[in-house]
Amino acid sequence: MDDRIDSVEKLEAVVGKRPAAVDLKVIDHLDDLALGWLAASPLAFVTGGNAATIAITLAGGGPGFATGDRQTLRLPLAFVDDPALLQPGAPFASLFLAPGIGETLRINGRVAAIEADTALVEVRECYGHCAKALIRSDFWSAGRLEPPADSADFVDAGRFLALATIDDSGHADLSPKGDPAGCMTRMDGPALWFADRPGNRRTDSFRNLIAQPQMAGALLIPGSTQVVILRGAADLTSDAAARERFTVRDKAPLLAIRVDRPDLELRPSPALERAALWPLAAKAEGIDPARMFTAHVKLNKDKGLAARLGGLVMSIPGLMQKGLDSDYKNNLY
């Protein structure tokens, strides 16, 4: 593959260095705002397994199906499509959605125990993710629809991907990807391709793939309760021809990702059915992503100069929301 990216140095030469400020909104516990998000969330994507057997599943029910306290996330196994993935000691990453909200809540850690048919997750990271993936996929504007019956056709029509990766130290990451149909994922012979778009610039998933190329993904067509679960080994490239196939609004992505001969499983998701996301009945109340981002910057344990300056800047009323609105308008692609 031309222009293959197989080191962090090559990655940063293409997408830039990871900004120090991206970690300022990461806290190591569930605060009241995160617990409020869980109370409103009917759906989560969940990563389990290990470097050799990384896997992804969905969990869902009514709002508040998952609960927690400061250091523990509680996920009842009855609401998980593949509960056997959650084993004590396994790395854990999750992505929680709230109805009508573009931003998502990410909670990472490790499965501490299974008690009373509930996975108890030790929380190590909690932070909000920007809304670009859900905006680009028109996630919340969908009505109920019948998806393609063939997995390859489903891939070509997909609009939202939850990408699960794990590094060589056993730390899991779950990142949202979104695009219009035909520009999210594509089959090209035996390979599946997708692109990278501007996001929160953490680049965790790509760093993980460089260290350990096995990945898993849950691909959705908003409006359908079917899902394609995919697994395989991924390569990153900056090859111009590969990237240009994913051009949207005259903007080509900086990276394209190839998964050679992926395992594709098209199946119904009971979690998606229970979550009843589409058509959207009402936007979740009491969820203010800008307020949560600001609060998490202030709660961050990093007391260095960047953190102190970040907390000071975030104290300016409305600044975070203005920044988000500008970013979503001007940097969507």
Name the CA radius of gyration of the chain, rounded.
Answer: 19
The CATH number of domain 4-330 is 1.10.150.20: no
The full set of domain ranges for the chain reads 4-330
With a cut of 70, say whether residue 199 has pLDDT above it: no
Give the pLDDT score at 317. Answer: 53
Instruction: Specify the pairing of strand 43-48 against strand 91-97.
Output: antiparallel
CB under 8 Å to 328, separation ≥6 — which residues? 102, 130, 131, 132, 135
- 22-64: pLDDT as tens digits: 778 899 999 999 999 999 999 999 998 877 789 999 999 999 9
Give the pLDDT score at 21. Answer: 67
- Region 215-222 average pLDDT: 98
| CA distance linking residue 104 with residue 100, whole number of Å | 11
- 283-333: pLDDT as tens digits: 999 999 999 988 888 888 765 545 555 554 555 557 778 888 888 888 888
- 80-119: pLDDT as tens digits: 999 999 999 999 999 999 999 999 999 999 999 999 999 9
- 260-288: pLDDT as tens digits: 999 999 999 999 999 999 999 999 999 99
- Region 199-221 average pLDDT: 90
| CA distance linking residue 87 with residue 48, whole number of Å | 8
Give the pLDDT score at 73. Answer: 98
Average pLDDT value for the chain = 91
Residue 111 class from Cβ within 10 Å (0-12 exposed, 13-18 middle, 19+ buried)? buried
Measured from the Cβ of residue 141, the count of other Cβ atoms closer than 10 Å reads: 12
Give the pLDDT score at 305. Answer: 45
65-98 exposure pattern, b = at least 16 Cβ within 10 A, e = fewer:
bbebeeebbbbbbebbbbbebbeeebbbbbbbbb
Give the pLDDT score at 306. Answer: 54
